[in-house]
Amino acid sequence: MSSRSTVRDLAQIAVFAALIAGLSLPGAIPIGSLGVPITLQTLGVMLAGAILGPRKGTLAVTTYVVLALIGLPILPGGRGGLGVFVGPTGGYLLGFILGAFVIGWCTARLLPRYRILPALLVTAIGGILAIYLIGVPWTAVTVGIPLDAAAIGALAFIPGDLIKVVVTVLVASAVHRAWPGIIEPKPWPWAAAKAETDASGAPVDPEASGRPAVADPSVQQDDRS
Amino acid sequence: MIGFAVPGTSVLHRMRPGVKLALLAAAVTVLAVLRDPVQLAVALALSCALVPLAHLPLRQTARQVTPVLWLLAVAVPVHAWFGTWPDAAAMGLRILTAVTLAAVFTMTTKVEALLDTVQAALRRVPWIDAERVGLVLALTIRCVPLLAAIVREVIDARRARGVGGSLRAIAVPVIVRSLRTADAFGEALVARGYDD
């Protein structure tokens, strides 16, 4: 854990890790061809990224996953322990960590103006694409079925996931308006590179990073190299 | 916080969690290499023999393994459809054995002991502050019942008003109360001298 975490950060990490557990518990409905239970668990994962940002959000999800593997019954259906990790659905647990990071990283770049449409896009990329990117191949390998068959099995969850993405964005937009400063806004890499050349090699000052929306599409170019 | 551990004094209970974890990892690796259903059936029988060896109650052990049985009931025929039955049987046996072994591990290891092991391992990683990780893990364990109660209360409150479950109407108050709880925890920790 980075030594830059303040005690308040630690408290937020712990509370959100516990929140994911709390959202995982009520009423798990097994659905889909492989019987993976649907709960609000992924809502908690997406919220952690969208509300706490990349560092705290990823750490919150990691804490949740570690505690589940250590053997607390905090996975849907009151499951827990290493058995889940060696089983077919273990990849989703790793996917959650990646997903929260992707959502958090992008959300920090969207702030301070958290516009709904781009937020929906990045939350779907992190909350659905990134999670399935690890979860589906993991299922395919452990169960030994072709990748496309595993992907079709996972399709049953997409409608629920889309609802969770919308809910996450609406909640996050309300929270960030009412409670600014939870996530430190960061510029997109191309905006940062631009600000750096503007300031003739000086590090990005907080003034510029506070307004990441300056990336003018007409001037925008890929300076990431 | 309750885990799945069953108290006992068997060899498996007395083994150090780190050693047990290493054995489990080695066993799962061996399982991944085995291809023959007969060998895997023997492996499954051996892992099941650990259950009476550790004096674990059968019903509780079964509860750990049954969720994966439902999954396999679908996955094994699907696998056989795409491949051969021996392969499908090997896959089913492999997963079942791994999950049984993991269940034995979980049921013979106290959560506290495992937390200590994790923290001791993290102390050796220079860029990780093991004490803070330990604090977060302990705090989270404390918070799970609290947050589960918050979620339940909000859902009940919606129901009592007859407005039911719009997911957003549940999520907003849950998040607001979570953030307030985190602030309160932060202040309480600062008051106890945990500040940087």
Domain that holds residue A194: 187-225
> Residue B171 falls within a domain, yes or no?
yes
Asked if the Cβ–Cβ distance from B151 to A25 is below 8 Å, we say: yes
Asked if A46 and A113 sit in the same domain, the reply is: yes
> According to the model, what pLDDT value does residue A198 have?
63
Instruction: State mean pLDDT over A175-183.
Output: 86
Asked if the Cβ–Cβ distance from A171 to B171 is below 8 Å, we say: yes
Separation CA B21–CA B114 (nearest Å): 10
Asked if A56 and A136 sit in the same domain, the reply is: yes
Domain that holds residue B46: 11-108
> According to the model, what pLDDT value does residue A137 have?
94
- Taking CA atoms, A6 is separated from A32, A88, A155, B131, in Å, by 42, 37, 40, 13
Asked if B21 and B95 sit in the same domain, the reply is: yes
Asked if B137 and B82 sit in the same domain, the reply is: no
- Alpha-helical segments (H) within chain A: 7-24, 41-70, 82-86, 90-110, 116-124, 131-143, 147-154, 158-178, 189-198, 206-209
Rg (CA), chain A: 19
Asked if the Cβ–Cβ distance from B79 to A143 is below 8 Å, we say: yes
Asked if A133 and A224 sit in the same domain, the reply is: no
Asked if A121 and A203 sit in the same domain, the reply is: no
Asked if B95 and B133 sit in the same domain, the reply is: no
Instruction: State mean pLDDT over B182-194.
Output: 87
Separation CA A45–CA A23 (nearest Å): 10
Chain B residues within an 8 Å CB radius of A52: none
Nearest to A196 by CA among A188, A13, B105, A164: A188
> Residue B2 falls within a domain, yes or no?
no
Q: Which residue of B has its CA nearest to A148?
A: B82
Among residues B54, B75, B108, the one where a domain terminates is: B108
Q: The tokens of A110 are what?
A: 């969207």
Chain B residues within an 8 Å CB radius of A22: 144, 147-151
Tens-digit pLDDT profile for residues A73-103? 788 766 777 777 778 888 999 999 999 999 9
B3 close to A72: Cβ distance less than 8 angstroms = yes
How many domains, chain A? Answer: 2
Asked if B30 and B97 sit in the same domain, the reply is: yes
Q: Is the pLDDT of residue A41 over 70?
A: yes
Q: How many CB pairs under 8 A join A and B?
A: 214
Tens-digit pLDDT profile for residues B66-92? 877 877 887 788 778 877 888 888 888
Q: What is the DSSP letter of A38?
A: E
Q: Which residue of A has its CA nearest to B113?
A: A70
Rg (CA), chain B: 22
